[in-house]
Structure 1
Amino acid sequence: MLRIVVLVSGGGTNLQAIIDGVKDGIISNTEIAGVISNNRNAYALKRAEEHGIPSLCVSPKEFESREIFNEKFLEAVNAYEPDLIVLAGFLVVIPPAMIEKYRNRMINIHPSLIPSFCGKGYYGLKVHEAALARGVKVAGATVHFVDEGTDTGPIILQKAVEVEDGDTPEVLQRRVMEQAEWKILPRAIDLIANGKVMVEDGKVKMIQ
């Protein structure tokens, strides 16, 4: 049984997709051990509570230095003894010690087809604003392993979504969530839970 910890900063729609996926059997061999947010008011914490999932807030604002926060944050994650960490809209820089400890055991969902519209400064609506400003015809989402860079780790799954005339950033964001994010994040967790994913030479290989 794969134990996962989900890290969230906001509403937790991707967390909900994971909760539903586990409940419906789309994500097999998996249990959500805990949910951690950096934001005490994150609706994601309420979602966790409603489904009886242990949760807590660890905010950088509550510590006198980033170093102390990083240490306490890693302690909080370790306490759940996760096999996999899932970043589901988590807007805090991951401590280097955590990346090292959970190498190829931490994944992130990003709302674009990496390497487009990713890296520093590209998060949330900013991704979709940039995509529309560039006039792309196809948007999408990517699930990737987390490494020391921003959105630079090995890519696990991607799914494309059509951009339509008249799209606003908000409309495109919603379509990317519904048609891509909420599908490929549960799928990636299920593949990992069933031993179907390996990293070789910095790239993901699927094991049949």
Structure 2
Amino acid sequence: MLKIAVLVSGGGTNLQAIIDKIAEGVITNTEIAVVISNNKNAYALERAKQAGIEAVCVSPKDYENREQFNQEFLKTLDSYQVDLVVLAGFLVVIPPAMIQKYENRIINIHPSLIPSFCGTGYYGLKVHEGALARGVKVTGATVHFVDEGTDTGPIILQKAVEVQNGDTPEILQRRVMEQAEWEILPRAIHLIANGKVTVKDKKAVVEE
């Protein structure tokens, strides 16, 4: 059984997709051990509680400096002894110590087809604003392992979504969530839980 921690900063729509897909049996061999947020007002914490999942907040506002926060966050995460950490809209920079400790055991969902519209500064609506400003006809989402870079880790799954005339960043964000993010993040967890993903030469090899 794959024990996962889901890290979230906001509403938790991707968390909800994971909860639903586990309940439906689409994700197998997996349980959510804890949901951790840096934001005590994150609705994701409420979603976790409603599903009977332990919900914890570790906020940087409660610590004197970022180093103290990082240490406490890692200590909290470690205490649940999870196999996989899932970043589902988590807007905190992951400290190098955590990346090293959980090498190839942290995955992230990014709302574009990496390497387009990713890296420093590309998060949330900014990704979709960038795609629309460039006039791309296809965008999508990517699930990747987290390494020391920003959106540079091995790519596990990608799904394309068409850009339509008249799209606003908000409309495009919603379509990418519904058609890509909520599909491939649960799928990636299912594949990892069933031993279908390995990392070789900094590339993720997926056996479907």
TM-score, normalization by structure 2:
0.99
Q: For residues 161-186 of structure 1, what are the alpha-carbon distances to aligned partners after superposition, in whole Å with 9 as ceiling and x for unaligned?
A: 00000000000000000000000000
Q: Which runs of 5+ in 2 are unaligned?
A: none
Aligned partner letter, 1:53? I
Q: Which runs of 5+ in 1 are unaligned?
A: none
Q: How does 1:96-175 map to 2 (within 5 A)?
A: 96-175=96-175
Matched with 1:84 is 84
TM-superposed CA distance for 1:80, in Å, is 1.0
| Whole-angstrom CA distance in 1 between matches of 2:12 and 2:198 | 27
| Whole-angstrom CA distance in 1 between matches of 2:206 and 2:159 | 16
| Whole-angstrom CA distance in 1 between matches of 2:76 and 2:62 | 14
Aligned partner letter, 2:13? T
TM-superposed CA distance for 1:81, in Å, is 0.7
Q: For residues 136-157 of structure 1, what are the alpha-carbon distances to aligned partners after superposition, in whole Å with 9 as ceiling and x for unaligned?
A: 0001000000000000000000
Matched with 1:75 is 75
| Whole-angstrom CA distance in 1 between matches of 2:126 and 2:61 | 24
| Whole-angstrom CA distance in 2 between matches of 1:79 and 1:21 | 25
Report how many residues are paired: 208
Aligned partner letter, 1:179? Q
| Whole-angstrom CA distance in 1 between matches of 2:185 and 2:34 | 17
Q: 3-state DSSP class of the match of 1:189?
A: helix
Matched with 2:200 is 200
| Whole-angstrom CA distance in 2 between matches of 1:38 and 1:107 | 17
Q: 3-state DSSP class of the match of 2:132?
A: helix
| Whole-angstrom CA distance in 2 between matches of 1:65 and 1:174 | 35
Aligned partner letter, 1:36? I
List, as ranges, runs of 4+ consecutive aligned residues in structure 1 with deviation greater than 3 Å.
none
Give % identity.
76
TM-superposed CA distance for 1:207, in Å, is 3.2
TM-superposed CA distance for 1:206, in Å, is 1.8
Aligned partner letter, 1:26? V
| Whole-angstrom CA distance in 1 between matches of 2:184 and 2:207 | 17
Aligned partner letter, 1:176? V
TM-score, normalization by structure 1:
0.99
Q: For residues 36-88 of structure 1, what are the alpha-carbon distances to aligned partners after superposition, in whole Å with 9 as ceiling and x for unaligned?
A: 00000000000000011001100111100111101000001011110000000
Q: 3-state DSSP class of the match of 1:92?
A: coil
Aligned partner letter, 1:150? T
| Whole-angstrom CA distance in 1 between matches of 2:26 and 2:95 | 31
| Whole-angstrom CA distance in 2 between matches of 1:24 and 1:75 | 32
Aligned partner letter, 1:23? A
